[in-house]
Structure 1
Amino acid sequence: MTERPATYAQVFAVREYRYLFGAYLLSLLGDQLTAITVAYLVYTGTGSAALAAAAFGSSYLAWLTGGPLLSGLADRVPRRRLMIGCDLARALLIPLAALPDLGAPALVALLFVVNLLRPPFVAARAALMPEVLDGDRYPVANGVDNISAQIVQVVGFAAGGSLVAVLSLRGALLVDAATFLVSALLILVGVRARPVPTRPTGPGRLDSTTGLRVIFTDHRLRAYVLVLWLASAFTYAAEGLMAPLAVQYGGGPGTVGLLLAAAPLGMAVGGVAFTRFCPPDVRPRLVLPLAASSGTVLVVVWTSPPLWAVLALLVLAGAGSAFAIPLNALFGRAVPSEYRGRAFGVAITGLAGLQGLAILLAGLAADHWAPTTVIGVSGLLGAVAVLALVPLWPRRAPTTEVPGAPLEQPRTTSTAAEPSAEPAHQSTLG
């Protein structure tokens, strides 16, 4: 691997990545639009906030169930074909929500099925990326994806509400379906067909526990995943308290919006700084310090500082969460190609589960203590958790690594005895 950082122009010069990037944005936008539109349908049809929340939050449950069961398809089916199939299936299922007399439980179940198609899509794309991009272009592309995801998250929520307001519900659902159709077309046209990764022989190598075994029997993968899970969970817990936090400061919906936008803004700024101005060989050395800092800065919220200071601290926490960018590529390059889909599936499933659990626990705690106190304590626990993982962090890593190489392959080490240049907001992988 070259030690010179890749530029965005060099990343987008790769034709396959341009099409993958466009498909990624459209699929992500489609997921956001679908969640909002169906949640609105459920709420207007039933008046139940609980059912609407269940519809909107079904993506968490889909990852917890579909992640372990379906992400392995990315290692058993050609990845390009799998991505196209997932997009086409979502495009066909989403318009069903517009059928007359479809009850709220059926709508929630339909959205759950649609969300089940996201884990295999994400796992296939994550497994394909190291084969499309070489050298420093791979971690820089991860940074581009991560930054774009933050922007799409905000735009998707805003556009979803606008579509429901401007178009009929059926029209909004057709737009949702169209995003997946165009995504499938981009992958079909711009991504080269590749065969199924070579599978090692032997019993049990393709069962549902393979991803867990691959990760937790390798000291590097185990350290990468634990840092991602723990740092992200404790930092992400704050996002579930933005509404009560706004009330604590005497604000309304506008304040909630500002608070929710702060961390993604910080992540976007941190991602640009990481990928454009940080040398490749330095990025891995910053993973642990940034992961710890993403929680540490939130400890100050415990003191109930002015609102402008809280916003600044959330931005800093988001910037610290950019540690996921080099961590992503460290992980992706360390997993053999034939296991990559299942390994990413396990990593993202665990991430989604812990983030959802962190939000739930933070909400329960905020019923007894001030939101600022809960956020500060959560940040402190996150920083302590990351520091506790320091002894597990690999001290020697290859300066050159072939994507998909066996984990046992002998590797040369860098003179700095640190991981070489590799890398999702704190929630993204792949």
Structure 2
Amino acid sequence: MRLFAIRDYRHLFGAQIIALFGTGLTTVALGLLAYDLAGPSAGMVLGTALTVKMVMYVAIAPLVAAYVDRFPRRTFLVLLDVVRAAVVLALPLVTEIWHIYVLIGLLQAASAAFTPTFQAVIPDIVTNQSDYTRALSASQVASTMESLLSPVLAAVALAFMSFNWLFLGTSAGFLLSALLVLWTRIPNARPSAHTRAWDKVAAGIRTFVRTPRLRGVMALNLVVAAAGSIVVVNTVNYVRDELDGSQSEVAWMLAASGSGTLLAALALPRVLDRVKARTVMVTGAGVLVGGTIAALVLLTAGLTTWAGTAIVWTVIGIGMALVITPTGNVLRASVEPNAIPEAFAAQFSLSHLAWLITYPIAGWLGTNAGYVVTWSVLATLAGAGAIGALLLWPRHDGQRAETGTVTPNRPAPWTDRSNLSKAA
């Protein structure tokens, strides 16, 4: 495959995979740590920890994008990996719930700086548009493989050891990621079109507000967050208390959602060559709305079985992949090359702003009002986001995921004109 013939991309992709698997193990372990410390209130603890994470993402990512062209990106990425490794190593030592919040705040501050910087590096290394589409799909496959295999690995490991040892695996993963980044030739960021930091922060947000398709993406972010919060926040208590499952079975249920995401991500590259990004993403929104309604039906109809839950979790995983995978190309096709870091950082913050809304609902409302009320609220939010996307993103936008065209007949000046035939 031509994409993996690019040495620097191979290193970055390897770093991404290793760090993702470490993060996946932490996600499973963090949920079990919350249950160990808080029992029936684990959902509220986990929801609070994830809310802290979202606050860091929303606040820090735009600032990083504003300053990223002022320092070497490779050194910055390595430093952030080392910081994350050190923080995760401290998580098994916590004895109080507030310790979790402090460490998660530090960990996610580093991740909030790392992720948009990493995303903005890829188009500077993979310059061919078709290869870049494959790179985005490969990243999504890596993420979905992590969401499937990390819980499976955790389930196997938990049969032999305490969940605290999973944190050690995460720390090692971040250190290996740092080494691979260190061996990668990463060009420094292009000078931004804006000189003042706050102008850069505002520029990405303004781009989203002014661009119809990106307004649609903002609405789709809410759909993903509403459905995804059910899986991320509520699985631990749902499996342990409603299904009377074990620690390993929590991991297996998370793997069910990951399997759905993986199946969709593997099928999407060829689909995105022929189908508009809008069609794929709006379809994904419909799948997610259906998944949240199905989760609600499981509860209200008394169908809380292992098989029924696994099917619904898988459907939600499929919907998330359909929405998330094409997003990178939609962003790239909407801005000039020197504005790509700002656009990625804006999407990073805006998408996590949606999670900032839904995580507390899933965690706090789920603990205090029960799943029927909570999932009804989340299903309503998912439906509102899907309707918003249909209204905000024009049907005749003309963009396909692989091409850089912005309108059917008038490509942007930075578009590779070899792709114009695909936009017709």
Indicate how the Cα distance of structure 1 residues 114 and 303 shifts in structure 2: closer, same or farther if over 3 A, else same: closer
| 8 A Cα contact 2:257 2:317, kept in partner | yes
1:348 is the counterpart of 2:351:
no
1:88 is the counterpart of 2:97:
no
1:389 is the counterpart of 2:392:
yes
1:409 is the counterpart of 2:403:
no
**How many angstroms apart in 1 are the aligned matches of 2:46 and 2:227?**
25
Hey, what does 2:408 align to over in structure 1? Answer: none
| 8 A Cα contact 1:37 1:173, kept in partner | yes
| 8 A Cα contact 1:235 1:382, kept in partner | no
| 8 A Cα contact 2:148 2:254, kept in partner | no
1:305-325: CA deviations, max 9, x gaps? 755456445433432332321
Indicate how the Cα distance of structure 1 residues 388 and 258 shifts in structure 2: closer, same or farther if over 3 A, else same: farther
1:367 is the counterpart of 2:370:
yes
| 8 A Cα contact 2:326 2:401, kept in partner | no
Indicate how the Cα distance of structure 1 residues 85 and 222 shifts in structure 2: closer, same or farther if over 3 A, else same: same
Tell me the CA shift for residue 292 of structure 1. 3.6
1:111 is the counterpart of 2:98:
no
1:261-280: CA deviations, max 9, x gaps? 443222211111111x3251
Indicate how the Cα distance of structure 1 residues 167 and 55 shifts in structure 2: closer, same or farther if over 3 A, else same: farther
**How many angstroms apart in 1 are the aligned matches of 2:189 and 2:374?**
49
Give the gaps of 5 or more residues in structure 1. Answer: 1-8, 419-430
| 8 A Cα contact 2:51 2:360, kept in partner | no
1:295 is the counterpart of 2:298:
no
**How many angstroms apart in 2 are the aligned matches of 1:271 and 1:339?**
27
The structure 1 residue matched to 2:124, chosen from 131, 134, 141, is 131
Q: Which stretch has the larger CA shift, 256-265 or 326-335? A: 256-265
5 Å matches for 1:179-328? 179-189=173-183, 191-200=184-193, 203=196, 206-223=199-216, 225-239=217-231, 240-242=233-235, 251-253=243-245, 259-275=253-269, 277-278=270-271, 280-298=273-291, 299=293, 303-304=297-298, 307=305, 308=307, 311-321=310-320, 322-328=322-328
**How many angstroms apart in 2 are the aligned matches of 1:102 and 1:368?**
28
Write the letter of the residue equivalent to 1:409: P
Q: Which stretch has the larger CA shift, 201-210 or 284-293? A: 201-210
| 8 A Cα contact 1:294 1:320, kept in partner | yes
Write the letter of the residue equivalent to 1:336: E
Q: Which stretch has the larger CA shift, 332-341 or 79-88? A: 332-341
The percent of aligned pairs where both chains have the same amino acid is 21
**How many angstroms apart in 2 are the aligned matches of 1:52 and 1:302?**
21
Tell me the CA shift for residue 187 of structure 1. 1.3
Indicate how the Cα distance of structure 1 residues 361 and 123 shifts in structure 2: closer, same or farther if over 3 A, else same: same
Tell me the CA shift for residue 113 of structure 1. 1.0
**How many angstroms apart in 2 are the aligned matches of 1:152 and 1:398?**
24
Tell me the CA shift for residue 118 of structure 1. 0.7
1:101-129: CA deviations, max 9, x gaps? 98664553233212211122111111011
TM-score normalised over the length of structure 1: 0.75
Indicate how the Cα distance of structure 1 residues 399 and 280 shifts in structure 2: closer, same or farther if over 3 A, else same: closer
TM-score normalised over the length of structure 2: 0.76
Tell me the CA shift for residue 21 of structure 1. 1.2
Hey, what does 1:422 align to over in structure 2? Answer: none
| 8 A Cα contact 1:262 1:314, kept in partner | yes
| 8 A Cα contact 2:281 2:324, kept in partner | no
1:12 is the counterpart of 2:4:
yes
Tell me the CA shift for residue 33 of structure 1. 3.9
SS in 2 for 1:334: coil
Q: Which stretch has the larger CA shift, 142-151 or 303-312? A: 303-312
SS in 1 for 2:201: coil
**How many angstroms apart in 2 are the aligned matches of 1:302 and 1:265?**
21
**How many angstroms apart in 1 are the aligned matches of 2:343 and 2:237?**
36
| 8 A Cα contact 1:303 1:372, kept in partner | no
Tell me the CA shift for residue 179 of structure 1. 1.6
| 8 A Cα contact 1:38 1:111, kept in partner | no
1:28 is the counterpart of 2:20:
yes
SS in 1 for 2:257: helix
| 8 A Cα contact 1:68 1:345, kept in partner | yes
Indicate how the Cα distance of structure 1 residues 164 and 144 shifts in structure 2: closer, same or farther if over 3 A, else same: same
Indicate how the Cα distance of structure 1 residues 181 and 151 shifts in structure 2: closer, same or farther if over 3 A, else same: same
Indicate how the Cα distance of structure 1 residues 246 and 393 shifts in structure 2: closer, same or farther if over 3 A, else same: farther
**How many angstroms apart in 2 are the aligned matches of 1:335 and 1:29?**
31
| 8 A Cα contact 1:97 1:107, kept in partner | yes
**How many angstroms apart in 2 are the aligned matches of 1:294 and 1:154?**
19
SS in 1 for 2:325: helix
Higher helix content, 1 or 2: 2
Tell me the CA shift for residue 414 of structure 1. 5.2
| 8 A Cα contact 1:154 1:261, kept in partner | yes
**How many angstroms apart in 1 are the aligned matches of 2:391 and 2:49?**
37
